């Protein structure tokens, strides 16, 4: 039979409950439980059938039911209360940003990321990077930052994971109907959909702009799957991290270049451009082009003007994890771009060029972002150190501790990840205004006011809820595999809540060592099957579809989980998502994390678990280096890094078994006369207090404002002054420095042989040096003593600088400088003299990363 057109007839909301549509299209509901309950109340069965998606619910709910709800007194009372709360939130001007940075509240920040984890019903995320980006947007809304997000809209999302009877992972890519997503096309004043274009080799790509809202934060999403494009080009935004290297460069051109153009078309004019990982680094090229073509700047001045407003966050502590492209791909996609910048191909490539040890050149997105950003940061203190070591070659004049990559340690959005039952418990014992002060130590000390019995009662309730939820997932998993009735009945015996339960859930990359716990299978068996003090494990996570070693880790765990001796003690769940995560982080007793140090940039799953009362058992990597205080969990191994990975695995696995046997298991099963494990609850309380206080995104965003965004805003003010004369003068001065830098000569007047004598703390050293500056004037530079501190392995770990002043001027461009410093602490140290560009003539002291050494 032939049909002219297929369509879905959707119900119409009665006027009395019309605001439900606005609520459904704003992710505010995801961190406001009463709003979620409102949708659930409409049709509970349908709510779960549509995977807790308000938009899908409103498009499928029965029309008669809507009419009845619009007259239901109880529903309308809840509806009015939620709508009032939502409207007050959206209108409020009394935000943290307005109270603390009134002068910056109108300065807009554009935040670019390849993925966003806002809710499991909107599957455009793969893991930690996306969850962090989603939490960043939610918290920006809470704090009142003037921020807009930019990302890609994927027709097939990431992938749906299934595990077959052999334990092998399979990837399915469902095609999503965007009408079921909480997004709407962007329209111009004439009611026409808005598109942007980018030029690819011998063709033009059109990009459709979609919009959604995360509270007060708008999110712009870009889509190439439209009729205007060729079939192959429609696939550009098909899958998150899908396709080959050419697909990746196409996606990143769309994200970076089309992303900037989309913001311009929509009327946004950001001061700060935040690249969350290197995927978005091509935005720097588009911004340089804008300055050249719109402001008639030369290339070098445009680079300085662009750099001033750029912020870059790196998340990858291993070289292989950073995006690089072969030069032939750059030539293919940018061969007409450098002419728009009025530069040569070589000058263009030098923006992101990196050489491997064999001399092979490639174009690095991280190098591009580092070279054209005013401020860069890692995502934990340790990751900042690792990043400075990784990227010293980008800043060859600076020693490792001075490489301009700082850190802002990640956190999680507390209202998304704190279980609502725990929140209600805290409401009873915390100060009335605690919701507005989650970064205050005064708030979290009230955890100690909660009676042990009440905290344990809530924890066991959450554990039972997790068990019920996971039973449903396991039952569906086994049904799909065609398992026997006996196998299905066994599910009821899995995960009893009176057994110590350990959770491990994350991306199955090999460095995360998901199978480390199985290093000594017999020893593990004794721990898990102890008749008096048994232990059980829950595993979940996806391996990238192209990562066979990661898939093999899943297969190994699955095989062990089906062995008779482990059948009810080890469970592995398929299709890990935010919903599974939400149940696990609030329901397990222990959160296990054993990456191979120092490969974990930060990690946030343990933060979610910790603030919900789970106790972390983790390697000293990522955020846990800062989070562990000796009382709030346990550490695996120590803080050493081993080049021999097999040795490290052996040391760490023995550490896991030993601590489980001697500390964790005995403490959990040690109870008082009421059956309450008081010693364990003490650990839980310390976990909640320390982790919820220090590792929430409210603290994180405040750090970004004060340590990152404020610096970039000052840089922008510097370069923008007098119609960008600041950028022009900075560019000219930078060229002058480069032309004369190699002529600088420093001759220290050393009174005695260095490095052999001892000196007492409190003593001072005075030094003079003859410095030849050539054509440069003393006002253009700063001469300083550089004092370095070393560890016992002769590795520089810290430094201080002390100014030197001109004592005598020579007519031939040579000057006598004098300076002194006091030794303030014991240890190995050494000093030297160097010349740097005068920081008073730059927006930031590292803006021109040059130094001339003795």
pLDDT per position as a tens digit, 82-127:
999 999 999 999 999 999 999 999 999 999 999 999 999 999 999 8
Residue 831: φ, ψ to 5°: -135, 160
Given this model, what pLDDT does residue 701 score? 98
What does 376-404 look like in DSSP terms, one character per residue?
EEESSHHHHHHHHHHTGGGSTTS-GGGSS
Distances (CA, A) of 487 to 137, 167, 493, 494: 43, 16, 11, 11
Q: Is residue 436 part of a domain?
A: no
Q: Is residue 318 part of a domain?
A: no
Task: Please state whether the peptide bond connecting residue 244 to the residue before it is cis, i.e. omega within 30 degrees of 0.
Answer: no
- pLDDT tier at 485, thresholds 50, 70, 90: confident
Q: Is residue 432 part of a domain?
A: no
Alpha carbon distance 791, 799 (integer Å): 12
Given this model, what pLDDT does residue 793 score? 84
- Looking up residue 684, the CATH number of its domain turns out to be 3.40.50.2000
CA angle 188, 191, 195 (to 5 degrees): 50
Distances (CA, A) of 495 to 474, 607, 701, 845: 11, 23, 38, 56
Q: Is 220 helix (H, G, I), strand (E, B) or coil?
A: strand
The mean pLDDT of 337-365, rounded to a whole number, is 93
Alpha carbon distance 721, 215 (integer Å): 34
The mean pLDDT of 706-712, rounded to a whole number, is 97
Residue 501's beta-bridge partner residues?
A: 536
Q: Is residue 422 part of a domain?
A: no
Given this model, what pLDDT does residue 486 score? 84
- pLDDT tier at 487, thresholds 50, 70, 90: confident
> pLDDT digits over 563-598, tens only?
999 988 999 999 999 999 999 999 999 999 999 999
Q: Is the pLDDT of residue 357 over 90?
A: no
> pLDDT digits over 119-160, tens only?
999 999 998 999 999 999 999 999 999 999 999 999 999 999
Among 91, 111, 141, residue at a domain's last position: 91
Residue 820: φ, ψ to 5°: -150, 160
Q: Which helix (H) or strand (E) holds 815?
A: strand 814-822
- The widest CA-to-CA distance across the chain, in whole angstroms, is 100
Can you point out the beta strands (E) in 101-163?
109-112, 147-152, 160-163
Asked whether the beta carbons of 117 and 131 are under 8 A apart, the reply is yes
Among 91, 119, 152, residue at a domain's last position: 91
Alpha-carbon torsion 824, 828, 831, 836, what sign? negative
Strand 781-790 and strand 796-803: the pairing is antiparallel
> pLDDT digits over 174-198, tens only?
999 999 999 999 999 999 999 999 9
Alpha carbon distance 69, 64 (integer Å): 9
Alpha carbon distance 19, 39 (integer Å): 12
- Domain match, 652 and 774 both: no
Q: Which helix (H) or strand (E) holds 82?
A: helix 73-91
Number of H helices, E strands in the chain: 33, 29
> pLDDT digits over 656-703, tens only?
999 999 999 999 999 999 999 999 999 999 999 999 999 999 999 999
Alpha carbon distance 535, 513 (integer Å): 20
Buried b (16+ CB within 10 A) or exposed e, 758-783: eeeeeeeeebbbbbbbeebebebbbb
- Domain match, 813 and 679 both: no
Q: Is residue 404 part of a domain?
A: no
- pLDDT tier at 13, thresholds 50, 70, 90: very high
- Domain match, 645 and 765 both: no
- Domain match, 563 and 683 both: yes
> pLDDT digits over 442-457, tens only?
999 999 999 999 999 9
- Domain match, 554 and 646 both: yes
Q: Is the pLDDT of residue 167 over 60?
A: yes
Burial class (CB in 10 A: 0-12, 13-18, 19+), 496: middle
Q: Report residue 522 as tokens.
A: 């017999």
Given this model, what pLDDT does residue 752 score? 56
- Domain match, 599 and 467 both: yes
Given this model, what pLDDT does residue 168 score? 97
Distances (CA, A) of 542 to 211, 555, 600: 29, 11, 17
- Looking up residue 781, the CATH number of its domain turns out to be 2.60.40
- Domain match, 459 and 554 both: yes
> pLDDT digits over 365-379, tens only?
999 999 999 999 999
- Domain match, 746 and 683 both: no
Range of the domain at 24: 15-91
> pLDDT digits over 811-849, tens only?
678 999 999 999 888 889 999 999 999 999 999 999 999
Q: What are the residues whose beta carbons fall under 8 Å from the beta carbon of 299, sequence distance 6 or more?
A: 288, 292, 341, 342, 343, 347
Give which of 573, 428, 600 is closest to 510, Cα–Cα.
600
Q: Is the pLDDT of residue 753 over 90?
A: no
- Domain match, 536 and 642 both: yes
Give the pTM.
Answer: 0.96
Q: What share of the chain is helix, strand, coil (3-state, %, to 5)?
A: 45, 20, 35
What does 269-307 look like in DSSP terms, one character per residue?
--SEEEEESGGGTTHHHHHHHHHHHHS---HHHHHHHHH
Given this model, what pLDDT does residue 1 score? 75
The mean pLDDT of 72-80, rounded to a whole number, is 97
Q: Is residue 398 part of a domain?
A: no
- Domain match, 648 and 762 both: no
- Domain match, 488 and 615 both: yes
Buried b (16+ CB within 10 A) or exposed e, 142-171: bbbbbbbbbbbbbbbbbbbbebeeebebeb
Q: Is the pLDDT of residue 716 over 90?
A: yes
Alpha carbon distance 96, 150 (integer Å): 23
Distances (CA, A) of 441 to 444, 562, 689, 694: 5, 46, 8, 9
Q: Is 133 helix (H, G, I), strand (E, B) or coil?
A: helix
Q: In what order do the strands lie in the sheet with 361-364?
A: 324-326, 361-364, 353-355
Asked whether the beta carbons of 605 and 506 are under 8 A apart, the reply is yes
Q: Is residue 130 part of a domain?
A: no
Q: Report residue 561 as tokens.
A: 């989980």
The count of structural domains within the chain is 3
Q: Report residue 93 as tokens.
A: 């001007």
Radius of gyration of the chain (CA): 29
> Could you tell me how many residues make up the chain?
854
Buried b (16+ CB within 10 A) or exposed e, 625-655: bbbbeeebbbbbbeeeeeeeeeebbeebbeb
Q: What are the residues whose beta carbons fall under 8 Å from the beta carbon of 331, sequence distance 6 or more?
A: 345
Among 43, 72, 91, residue at a domain's last position: 91
Centre a 10 Å sphere on the Cβ of residue 827 and count the other Cβ atoms it contains: 12
- Domain match, 778 and 690 both: no
Alpha-carbon torsion 385, 386, 389, 391, what sign? negative
Q: Is the pLDDT of residue 810 over 80?
A: no
Q: Is the pLDDT of residue 783 over 80?
A: yes
- Residue-averaged pLDDT of the chain: 95
Given this model, what pLDDT does residue 640 score? 81
Given this model, what pLDDT does residue 825 score? 87
Q: Is residue 483 part of a domain?
A: yes
């Amino acid at each position: 039979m032939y049909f002219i057109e297929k369509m879905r007839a959707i119900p119409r909301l009665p006027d009395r409950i019309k605001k439900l549509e606005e609520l459904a299209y704003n992710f505010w509901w995801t961190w406001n439980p009463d709003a979620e309950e409102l949708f659930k109340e409409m049709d509970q069965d349908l709510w779960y059938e549509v995977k807790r998606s308000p938009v899908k619910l409103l498009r499928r709910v029965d029309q008669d039911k809507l009419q009845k709800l619009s007259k239901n007194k109880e529903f309308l009372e809840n509806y009015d209360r939620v709508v009032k709360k939502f409207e007050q939130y959206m209108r409020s001007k009394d935000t943290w940003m307005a109270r603390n940075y009134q002068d910056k509240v109108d300065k807009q920040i554009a935040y670019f990321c390849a993925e966003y984890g806002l809710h499991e019903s909107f599957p455009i995320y793969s893991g930690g990077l996306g969850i962090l980006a989603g939490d960043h947007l939610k918290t920006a809304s809470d704090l009142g930052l003037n921020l807009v997000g930019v990302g890609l809209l994927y027709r097939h999302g990431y992938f749906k994971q299934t595990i077959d009877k052999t334990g092998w992972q399979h990837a399915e890519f469902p095609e999503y109907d965007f009408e079921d997503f909480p997004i709407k096309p962007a329209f111009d004043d004439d009611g026409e959909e808005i598109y942007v274009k980018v030029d690819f080799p011998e063709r033009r790509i059109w990009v459709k702009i979609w919009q959604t809202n995360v509270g007060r934060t708008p999110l712009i999403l870009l889509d190439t799957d439209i009729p205007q494009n060729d079939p192959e080009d429609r696939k550009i935004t098909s899958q998150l991290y899908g396709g080959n290297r050419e697909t990746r460069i196409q996606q990143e051109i769309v994200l970076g270049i089309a992303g900037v153009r989309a913001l311009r078309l929509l009327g946004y004019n950001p001061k700060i451009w935040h690249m969350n990982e290197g995927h978005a680094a091509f935005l720097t090229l588009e911004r340089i082009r804008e300055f050249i073509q719109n402001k008639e700047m030369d290339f070098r001045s445009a680079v300085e003007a662009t750099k001033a407003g750029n912020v870059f966050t790196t998340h990858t502590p291993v070289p292989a994890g950073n995006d690089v492209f072969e030069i032939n791909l750059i030539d293919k996609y940018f061969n007409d771009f450098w002419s728009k910048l009025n530069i040569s191909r070589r000058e263009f490539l030098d923006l992101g060029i990196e050489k491997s040890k064999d001399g092979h050149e490639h174009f690095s997105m991280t190098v591009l972002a580092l070279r054209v950003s005013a401020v860069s940061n890692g995502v934990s203190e340790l990751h900042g150190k690792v990043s400075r070591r990784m990227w010293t070659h980008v800043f060859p004049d600076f020693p490792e501790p001075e490489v301009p990559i700082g850190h802002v340690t990640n956190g999680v959005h507390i209202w998304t990840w704190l279980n609502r039952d725990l929140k209600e418990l805290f409401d009873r014992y915390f100060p009335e205004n605690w919701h507005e002060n989650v970064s205050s130590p005064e708030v979290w000390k009230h955890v100690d006011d909660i009676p042990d019995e009440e905290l344990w009662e809530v924890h066991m309730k959450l554990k039972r809820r997790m068990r019920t939820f996971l039973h449903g997932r396991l039952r569906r998993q086994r049904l799909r595999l065609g398992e026997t009735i006996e196998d299905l009945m066994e599910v009821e015996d899995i995960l009893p809540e009176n057994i110590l339960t350990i959770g491990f859930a994350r991306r199955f990359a090999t460095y995360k060592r998901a199978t480390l716990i199985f290093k000594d299978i017999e020893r593990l068996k004794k721990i898990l099957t102890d008749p008096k003090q048994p232990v059980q494990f829950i595993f979940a996570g996806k391996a990238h579809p192209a990562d066979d070693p990661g898939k093999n880790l899943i297969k190994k765990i699955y095989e062990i989980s089906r062995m008779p001796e482990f059948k009810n003690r080890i469970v592995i769940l398929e299709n890990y998502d935010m919903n599974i995560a939400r149940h696990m982080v609030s329901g397990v007793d222990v959160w296990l994390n054993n990456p191979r140090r120092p490969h974990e940039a930060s990690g946030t799953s343990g933060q979610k678990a910790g603030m919900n009362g789970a106790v972390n058992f983790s390697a000293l990597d990522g955020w846990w280096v800062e989070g562990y205080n000796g009382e709030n969990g346990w550490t695996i191994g120590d803080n050493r890094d081993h080049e021999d990975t097999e040795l490290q695995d052996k040391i760490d696995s023995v550490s896991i078994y030993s601590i489980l046997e001697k500390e964790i298991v005995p403490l959990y099963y040690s109870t008082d006369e009421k059956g309450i494990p008081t010693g364990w609850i003490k650990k839980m309380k310390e976990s909640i207090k320390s982790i919820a206080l220090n590792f929430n995104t409210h603290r994180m965003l405040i750090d970004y404002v004060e340590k990152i965004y404020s610096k970039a805003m000052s840089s922008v003010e510097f370069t923008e002054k007098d119609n960008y004369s600041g950028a022009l003068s900075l560019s000219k001065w930078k060229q002058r420095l480069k032309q004369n830098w190699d002529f600088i000569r420093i001759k220290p007047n050393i009174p005695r042989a260095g490095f052999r004598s001892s000196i007492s703390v409190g003593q001072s050293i005075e030094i003079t040096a003859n410095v030849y500056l050539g054509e440069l004037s003393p006002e253009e530079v700063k001469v300083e003593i550089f004092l370095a501190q070393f560890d016992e392995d002769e590795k520089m770990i810290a430094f201080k600088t002390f100014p030197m002043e001109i004592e005598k001027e020579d007519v031939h461009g040579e000057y006598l400088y004098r300076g002194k410093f006091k030794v303030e602490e014991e240890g190995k140290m050494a000093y030297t003299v160097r010349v740097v560009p005068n920081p008073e003539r730059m927006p930031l002291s590292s803006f021109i990363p040059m130094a001339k050494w003795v």
